[in-house]
Amino acid sequence: MDYGKGGSGDGLASRCLRCANDASRARKFGITREQYDALLAIQGDVCWICKQPPDFGRKSLSVDHDHNCCADKDKTCGNCIRGLICGACNLALGLFDHKPERLEAGFRYLVEGVPHILAHLQSRDEPTALPVLVIPRQRFS
C-alpha cells in the first residue's frame, strides 16, 4: 500500500509514495519534507483557506504559490510559497485564475448579490424580470 504502480518486475514503483511525493515537492517547489511538515504544523494540519483536512482522497495538502512570481508555472523558485491548501481550494483558486479581483467579485456576489436576488424573488407572486443589480467596484488594498 505504501508503493504506487511502477515499471519494476513486481509492478510497483521503486520509491514509496511518501518518498516520491517528497522528491516531487522538492523538484517543483524547492522545499524539503521538514519544511513542508513545519508549514503544516503552523497551519494546524488543515487547509490555510477552509481550515479542513486534505480532501479528494489525498493524504497531503497542495503547496500553493504565487503563479506571477516565476516564469515556469509548473515549478517555483521556492520564495513565493503562500501556504498549504486542500484540493478544493486549490481548484477554486485556479478557476478564479489566481486573480484577487475575481475572488473579490465572487465574494461580493455571495454576500450582496444572492440575498438581494432571493429577497426580490420571494417578494413576487408572479415571475417578473429581475432588477439590474449594480454593485460599485471596490478594490482591496
Question: Across residues 55-81, what is the average pLDDT?
Answer: 79
Judge: domain 3-95, CATH 3.40.1800: yes
What is d(CA 86, CA 52) in angstroms, rounded to the nearest whole number? 7
CA–centroid distance for 86 within its chain: 6
Kindly indicate the confidence band of residue 124, based on its pLDDT and cuts at 50, 70 and 90: low
Residue 14 corresponds to which cell in the numbers above? Answer: 521503486
Beta bridge partners of 83: 64
Provide the residue ranges of all domains of the chain, joining segments of one domain with +. 3-95
**pLDDT above 90 (res 84):** yes
Which has more pLDDT, 141 or 8?
Answer: 8
Q: What is the structure's pLDDT at 96? A: 93
- The answer, yes or no, to whether residue 40 has pLDDT greater than 90, is yes
